[in-house]
């Protein structure tokens, strides 16, 4: 965890302990939001879908922060919420209903953060999309969490473990090595490296 992340976690914990969950959630979303949004964009590869997932992430963090048990870092928990939100928006039920979340304070904050970074991120994304195109959602998630977001292997394991099925760190590391090899081959095929 970085010093900034540690300071944020301390500030958010203190605000929650004082009963100011609104301020705590706002701080968490403002500080972690750009990073989480970048993760969702790289994972979902569609601005509208990433925006929907980000709104869902913000709503879940806002509503769940008071009950957060602090068994992992705030940042890890945020990425787990984002991973679940991405799965939700990819799900058939989401497409069938095609709805946006009700515009609440968290959604407004999410939209404000999302629109500030659209242009800059779009240029970077176009370059990386060629490489990431051949990857599965799980591979994109692993790549984004490790390289783009700098999470530790233990944090990635926490984020990707679902419904009581833990993901082993050794297995993640092996998957990551295979993924790097796959990307190197794809980069050579696209002429991005010699």
Spell out the domain ranges in the chain. 3-189
Residue of 108 and 40 predicted with greater confidence: 40
Helix (H, G, I), strand (E, B) or coil at 192: coil
Q: Are 152 and 58 in contact (CB under 8 A)?
A: no
Sign of CA dihedral 162, 165, 171, 173: positive
This prediction has a pTM of 0.69
Q: Look at residue 164 in the predicted model and tell me its pLDDT.
A: 72
Q: Which of 8-22, 24-38, 119-133 has the lowest mean pLDDT?
A: 119-133
Q: Are 113 and 37 in contact (CB under 8 A)?
A: yes
pLDDT(56) > 60: yes
Q: Count CA within 13 A, CB hemisphere, residue 189.
A: 11
Tell me the C-alpha distance between 188 and 32, whole Å: 34
Kindly give the residue spans of alpha helices, DSSP state H, lying in the chain.
3-17, 21-44, 47-64, 74-90, 92-97, 105-116, 118-132, 137-143, 153-160, 169-189
Segment 42-56 mean pLDDT: 91
Tell me the C-alpha distance between 27 and 143, whole Å: 26
For residue 135, give the DSSP letter.
S
Segment 18-47 mean pLDDT: 93
């Amino acid at each position: 965890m970085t010093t900034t992340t540690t300071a944020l976690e301390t500030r958010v914990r203190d605000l929650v302990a004082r009963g100011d969950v609104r301020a705590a959630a706002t701080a968490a979303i403002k500080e972690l939001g750009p990073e989480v949004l970048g993760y969702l964009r790289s994972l979902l590869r569609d601005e509208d879908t990433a925006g929907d997932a980000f709104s869902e992430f913000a709503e879940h963090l806002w509503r769940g922060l008071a009950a957060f048990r602090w068994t992992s870092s705030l940042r890890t928990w945020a990425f787990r919420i984002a991973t679940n939100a991405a799965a939700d928006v990819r799900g058939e039920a989401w497409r069938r209903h095609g709805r946006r979340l009700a515009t609440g304070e968290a959604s407004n904050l999410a939209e404000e953060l999302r629109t500030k970074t659209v242009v800059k991120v779009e240029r970077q994304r176009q370059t990386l999309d060629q490489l990431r195109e051949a990857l599965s959602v799980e591979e994109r998630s692993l790549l984004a969490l490790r390289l783009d977001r700098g999470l530790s292997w233990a944090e990635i394991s926490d984020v990707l473990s679902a419904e009581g099925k833990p993901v082993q760190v050794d297995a993640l590391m092996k998957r990551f090595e295979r993924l790097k090899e796959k990307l190197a081959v794809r980069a050579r095929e696209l002429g991005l490296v010699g």
